[in-house]
Amino acid sequence: MMQIPRAISGNRRWFLTRLVINGFCQAAATVANALLVEMAFDKLITTVSPGLNNKLLWQIGLGLAAAAIVTALLRVLERADAERIGQDYAYEIRMILYERLMSLAPRALQNRSQGGVMLRFVGDLTALRQWVSLGLARLTVALTTTVASLAALSIVSTSLALTVGLVLAIGGLSSLKLGKRMQSVAQESRRRLSNLAANINEKVASIAVVQVFGQSQREKKRIARQSRRLEKAMVDRAMVAGQLRGITEGTAAIASGAALIVGALEVSAGRTSVGVVVAAMTIVGLLVPPLRDLGRVQEYWHNSRVALQKVEQFLDTPSLVTQKANAPELKLGNGRLEFDGVSLEGSLHKVSAIAQPGQIVALVGPNGAGKSTLISLAARLIDPDEGVIRLDGQDLAQHSLQSVRQAIGMAGPDLPLLRGTVAKNLRYRWRNAPVEEITRVWQLCGIDEVLAELSQGEETKVSEGGKTLSAGQRQRIALARAILGNPPLLLLDEVDANLDAQATAIVDRVLAEHKGTVLIITHRKERLAAVDVIWYLENGRLIEKGSPEVLLNSDSLTARLFQDSEEKVLSA
Ligand SMILES: Nc1ncnc2c1ncn2[C@@H]1O[C@H](COP(=O)(O)OP(=O)(O)OP(=O)(O)O)[C@@H](O)[C@H]1O
């Protein structure tokens, strides 16, 4: 399993060290401020000497201003460093998540909602980043500042420092007690957010279904219900966060009250000056902002724990495809493909067959027979539970995924076009393909005709899935994308289903001219005339193999399958 990096490691240690130094500097500024206040009280305000010492007044004034400026600058630096740590951490996890996503078989992802997966990349990463940049970093600086300031105060007045320290400690402990509650409300709000995100994401993708079946009102009610639940969960979370904030604010107020009372007792006993008491109160006052932030630290912490759990669960998703360490590169050959006793639970059972170099193999069979699964196995989009698949004698599972994918070209309904330009989609398989290769493929797939139909030719924008193009245009671009570079194994999944004669003719041409081996799934009888071999699958088993002439002219399952479909069409 991929490991999630620790929040503080590598580069981030250095930034944390900077934050600790920053905390000490803030404490120094706080103490300087307090000392100046003490001086002002003892030497200027409570002194009985006649006349005001103007020079000292100016010095103290300038000193206070300098301390204030330094504190402000330190806070700016602190924010920037804290953000750097958080962003760096989020970056590292984002890359791990993305790498994992890319290593998952499409099947492994199909069990998850897209909205849920998206939330990992958006919401959960934000929660983790906030914990590090707003929580952990703030905690580090606030604790350093508080401890150092109190230590400095204890030099002037131990009893005052102890009093303030004690109040702060009690406040800190009582806010910790709210932690459990914070965790459960954080979990609940994450769950509600995930439900809503998954639903909205799905509705965006299938808006037509909702509209066509007239369910807009019902779906609206569902969203309203989910929003209300999210609202309640968020308000619950805010309540607990508010209580935490109340505790920290209360603690700060009590600390300054306690400093005042203990200070009064100390002054009346002659053990300290009024200036020291006011200085102590100034320190408490300056500690209020960091303390206030500490109230939120717990919230960030618990949100991040929930997020981390979700990220871990995602990283734990079985990938269904595994790459051996140091797997060698697959050597390109002439495309002899062999399935040797291949099984996949629920889809295929002990399939054995060989496609000879340059052969065109039609995969036929009723729906759910396992045709698409067989193609996915050849592309290593999934690995078999049992059996071996060899390309030119080399076990696909023992070779690097990258090299296996280089040996294949694939087109089908599960491989939509990507957002970008037509040019980007055409060259997706090989960005710097030479002009001759592009010309060859474009001629073969009739790309020039497609480009002539588009207002901006190659630069025409393609939306997600190529939905702004016609089905025929999409098919040609997808075919061209698949055969660029002449891969020795071409996998085509119903590439001409529901398309017109022209689109069928393009497929005919590709089949006739492609040099490598081709596996093509088809439900069209006419297509079989152009193939060398037919593999008939049913219930995950390869039941018949043979040439179209033999299979279609005998009482075979293949002949019956296509006869049935013809009869159904005729009687309809
Ligand atoms: N993502 C998935 N997770 C689990 N099982 C799946 C998944 N996709 C397909 N299957 C199962 O694998 C079996 C074979 O499906 P497959 O899509 O390979 O059939 P097919 O012959 O291509 O069908 P069709 O002609 O309808 O496209 C089916 O029983 C199906 O339920």
Q: Is 347 in the pocket of ligand 1 (CB under 6 A)?
A: yes
Q: Is 369 in the pocket of ligand 1 (CB under 6 A)?
A: yes
The pLDDT tens digits of the residues spanning 469-499 come to: 999 999 999 999 999 999 999 999 999 887 8
44-53, 84-93, 355-364: least confidently modelled range: 44-53
Q: What is the whole-number distance in angstroms between the Cα of residue 548 and the centre of ligand 1?
A: 25
* C-alpha span between 414 and 412 (Å, rounded): 5
State the closest ligand 1 atom to the C-alpha of 540, by its place in the atom list counted from 1.
14
Q: Is 370 in the pocket of ligand 1 (CB under 6 A)?
A: yes
Question: Does pLDDT of 435 surpass 70?
Answer: yes
Q: Is 371 in the pocket of ligand 1 (CB under 6 A)?
A: yes
If you average pLDDT over every residue of the chain, what do you get?
90
Average pLDDT over residues 303-312: 90
Q: Is 26 in the pocket of ligand 1 (CB under 6 A)?
A: no
Q: What is the whole-number distance in angstroms between the Cα of residue 195 and the centre of ligand 1?
A: 27
State the closest ligand 1 atom to the C-alpha of 375, by its place in the atom list counted from 1.
18
What pLDDT shows up at residue 324?
82
Using CA atoms, how far residue 309 sits from 125, 184, 315, 422, in Å, is 12, 13, 10, 40
Give ranges for CATH 1.20.1560.10 in the chain: 11-315
State the closest ligand 1 atom to the C-alpha of 111, by its place in the atom list counted from 1.
1
Reading the block at residue 81, the tokens are 């460093």
Which DSSP string do the residues of 518-543 spell out, in sequence order?
EEEE---TGGGGG-SEEEEEETTEEE
Class of the 11-315 domain? mainly alpha
Q: The pTM is what?
A: 0.80
Q: What is the whole-number distance in angstroms between the Cα of residue 485 and the centre of ligand 1?
A: 29
Q: Whose CA is nearest to atom 16 of ligand 1?
A: 370
State the closest ligand 1 atom to the C-alpha of 106, by its place in the atom list counted from 1.
1
The pLDDT tens digits of the residues spanning 195-220 come to: 998 899 889 888 889 998 889 999 99
The pLDDT tens digits of the residues spanning 326-362 come to: 899 999 999 999 999 999 999 999 999 999 999 999 9
Question: Does pLDDT of 1 surpass 70?
Answer: no
Q: Whose CA is nearest to atom 18 of ligand 1?
A: 370
What pLDDT shows up at residue 572?
55
Q: Give yes or no for a contact between 183 and 299, defined as CB atoms under 8 angstroms apart.
A: no
Q: Which of 339, 373, 375, when mutated, tests ligand 1's pocket best, judged by the most ligand atoms within 8 Å of its CB? A: 373
The pLDDT tens digits of the residues spanning 532-548 come to: 999 999 999 999 999 99
- DSSP character for 379? T
Q: Is 372 in the pocket of ligand 1 (CB under 6 A)?
A: yes
Q: Is 412 in the pocket of ligand 1 (CB under 6 A)?
A: no
Q: Is 498 in the pocket of ligand 1 (CB under 6 A)?
A: no
**Taking the domain 337-571, which CATH number applies?**
3.40.50.300
Q: What is the whole-number distance in angstroms between the Cα of residue 280 and the centre of ligand 1?
A: 73
Q: Which of 343, 347, 522, when mutated, tests ligand 1's pocket best, judged by the most ligand atoms within 8 Å of its CB? A: 347
Give ranges for CATH 3.40.50.300 in the chain: 337-571
Token pair 């099984």 in the structure block, residue: 343
Average pLDDT over residues 556-564: 86
Reading the block at residue 79, the tokens are 């924010």
Amino acid (one-letter) located at 279: A
- Name the nearest CA neighbour of 392 among 403, 376, 381: 403
Q: Whose CA is nearest to atom 11 of ligand 1?
A: 347
What pLDDT shows up at residue 48?
65
Q: What is the whole-number distance in angstroms between the Cα of residue 205 and the centre of ligand 1?
A: 22
Q: Give yes or no for a contact between 388 and 342, defined as CB atoms under 8 angstroms apart.
A: yes
Q: What is the whole-number distance in angstroms between the Cα of residue 479 and the centre of ligand 1?
A: 23
Using CA atoms, how far residue 385 sits from 273, 320, 364, 371, 379, in Å, is 82, 9, 23, 17, 15
Instruction: Read off the pLDDT band of 568 (50, 70, 90).
Output: low
> From the CA atom positions of the chain, what is the Rg in Å?
35
Q: Is 189 in the pocket of ligand 1 (CB under 6 A)?
A: no
Q: Is 365 in the pocket of ligand 1 (CB under 6 A)?
A: yes
Q: What is the whole-number distance in angstroms between the Cα of residue 210 and the centre of ligand 1?
A: 25
State the closest ligand 1 atom to the C-alpha of 376, by its place in the atom list counted from 1.
18
- Name the nearest CA neighbour of 493 among 429, 413, 418: 413
Q: Residue 292, CB half-sphere, CA atoms under 13 Å: how many?
A: 8
The pLDDT tens digits of the residues spanning 144-159 come to: 888 888 898 888 889 9
Q: Which of 113, 371, 558, when mutated, tests ligand 1's pocket best, judged by the most ligand atoms within 8 Å of its CB? A: 371
316 burial level (CB within 10 Å; 0-12, 13-18, 19+): exposed
Q: Is 107 in the pocket of ligand 1 (CB under 6 A)?
A: yes
* C-alpha span between 564 and 170 (Å, rounded): 81
Q: What is the whole-number distance in angstroms between the Cα of residue 540 and the centre of ligand 1?
A: 9
